[in-house]
Structure 1
Amino acid sequence: MFPVKDDNPTSTVPWVTYGIIILNLLVFGYEMSLSLDEKALINFFDTYGLIPEKIVNGQSLFSLFTSMFIHGGFMHIFGNMLYLYIFGNNIEDIMGHRRFILFYLLCGMAASGLQISINPHSTVPNIGASGAIAGVLGAYLLTFPGAKVHTLIFFGYFVRWVKLPALFVLGFWFIIQLFSGIGSLGYMTADTGGIAFFAHIGGFVAGALLVLIFNKKKRRFLDGRFLGM
């Protein structure tokens, strides 16, 4: 299941969402310039990526923020930025630009916090905007459950384009993260890499809770119409 766009118009230009996407792309471009020197790239990840063991020991606390803007490859950044582009504009619209910045960063920190608590002795750098963007998805599901999301569904070699409610698309995404996270518990070690499922879970739950505070317009999307709350 691969979301492409949503039918959920906004009343403002999502400058912060665009800015976050541009910043991530600029950082990724810098990473690509380092890729010619593998040692320099590894050092960049070790310095600015979030290493749970360091955070637990009170070191490199700045990486709680910097790690949100680093990605490990083209598909990693493409998927994250696509989700942010599709769903971020509506959340920024209901919160306002400044609130959305704070919301985004808090979701990212909450995501990192849960991941650290699950594997506090990990020495593997955690990188990516997935946790913060998961917060955007959690906020979107709670605020716009009936919004239609254009989605590609793959059946082997066949692909179908369908419109599904956000409740189904994002709810399904969260369930996948939840079960994948639980399934990964028995395999985690200090040097195990892979997908930080608990960062996704933590960010999603944080976003669903924080939107109740940050939602300036107090509106909910249902059956294609905005309803006052």
Structure 2
Amino acid sequence: MFPVSDDNPTRITPYVTYGIIAVNVLVFIYQLSLTPPELENFFYTWAVVPSQLTKSLLGEPLQNQAFPEWITLITSQFLHGGFAHIAGNMLFLWIFGNNVEDRLGHVRFLIFYIACGMLAALTQWFFSANSNIPSLGASGAIAGVMGAYILKFPGAAVTTIIPPFIFFPFRIPAWAYLGVWFIQQAFYGFASLNVPANIGMEQGGVAYWAHAGGFVFGAVLGPLLGLFSNRDKRYSP
């Protein structure tokens, strides 16, 4: 399922959403400038490597580490493994992020986004604590945005296509689209347990547990940060 657009307008300019997209694109452009060995080293330095994070949490020293390992829970959110990876993530953020930012406000949305990404990465780490495969991407944070969106805008119509089966756009409620997406991530997460990992995170390079965890944490953190507060007063004359 591939989202195209939604019909839920925002009333503030989503500067944070735009800024996050810009940072991701700039980092990806930098990645393209690196040679394969440099890119591998870049990923192992700034992405979450579960085994290294485990050692750090246990107080074991890490060689050639100039910063605390937990920093990678943030930096990994701005790394991507290819064009399809970043394009898909930024599309989902573009569609769902602006409306959640509208409800939370700029500062709280930024806190919410980063927190969801960190908690999503920790969820993935929990299920692969000894893995040496770098964990990277904005998917966990964006899943958090989607978890908040389904609570606040369950009836919003999402226009979508389902390649390779349905290529003409059709509209379904957000609760149906995002609900099916979450069930898929949870199912694939369970299916990927005890399966050897490829480059990326889990089977096929997809961090299903980060997606599912981010979605759940987004649904929890959104209301705590004011997702349902009455912000409409800002627009009263």
Compute the TM-score of the two structures, normalised by the length of structure 2: 0.87
Match of 1:46 among 27, 44, 47: 44
Q: Which runs of 5+ in 1 are unaligned?
A: 220-229
Separation (CA, whole Å) in 2 of partners of 1:155 and 1:189: 26
Separation (CA, whole Å) in 2 of partners of 1:23 and 1:155: 31
Shift of 1:190: 9.9
Shift of 1:217: 5.1
Separation (CA, whole Å) in 1 of partners of 2:22 and 2:207: 23
Separation (CA, whole Å) in 1 of partners of 2:13 and 2:114: 20
Shift of 1:24: 0.1
Equivalent residue, structure 2, for 1:20: 20
Separation (CA, whole Å) in 1 of partners of 2:15 and 2:116: 19
Query: SS of the residue aligned with 2:33?
Result: helix
Equivalent residue, structure 1, for 2:206: 195
Equivalent residue, structure 1, for 2:234: none
Equivalent residue, structure 2, for 1:212: 223
Shift of 1:152: 1.1
- How many residues are paired up? 217
Write the mapping of 1:1-229 to structure 2, written as runs, cut at 5 A: 1-34=1-34, 37-58=35-56, 60-154=69-163, 156=165, 158-188=166-196, 193=202, 194-215=205-226, 218=229
Shift of 1:124: 0.5
Q: Which runs of 5+ in 2 are unaligned?
A: 57-61, 63-68, 231-237
Shift of 1:57: 1.3
Query: SS of the residue aligned with 1:3?
Result: strand
Query: SS of the residue aligned with 1:39?
Result: helix
Shift of 1:154: 3.5
RMSD: 1.8
- 2:129 partner amino acid: P
Separation (CA, whole Å) in 1 of partners of 2:216 and 2:183: 12
Say if 1:99 and 1:186 are closer, same or farther in 2 by CA, change over 3 A: same
Give CA deviations for 1:157-203 in whole Å, capped at 9, x if unaligned: x5221111000111111011010001111314698742110000110
- 1:65 partner amino acid: I
Query: SS of the residue aligned with 1:187?
Result: coil
On the 8 A contact 2:5/2:160 being kept in 1, the answer is yes
Compute the TM-score of the two structures, normalised by the length of structure 1: 0.90
Separation (CA, whole Å) in 2 of partners of 1:8 and 1:159: 23
Higher strand residue share: 1
Separation (CA, whole Å) in 2 of partners of 1:211 and 1:95: 8
Separation (CA, whole Å) in 1 of partners of 2:44 and 2:99: 34
Say if 1:170 and 1:190 are closer, same or farther in 2 by CA, change over 3 A: closer
- 1:170 partner amino acid: L
- 2:14 partner amino acid: P
Shift of 1:218: 2.6
Say if 1:152 and 1:189 are closer, same or farther in 2 by CA, change over 3 A: closer
- 1:214 partner amino acid: L
Which deviates the most, 177-186 or 190-199? 190-199
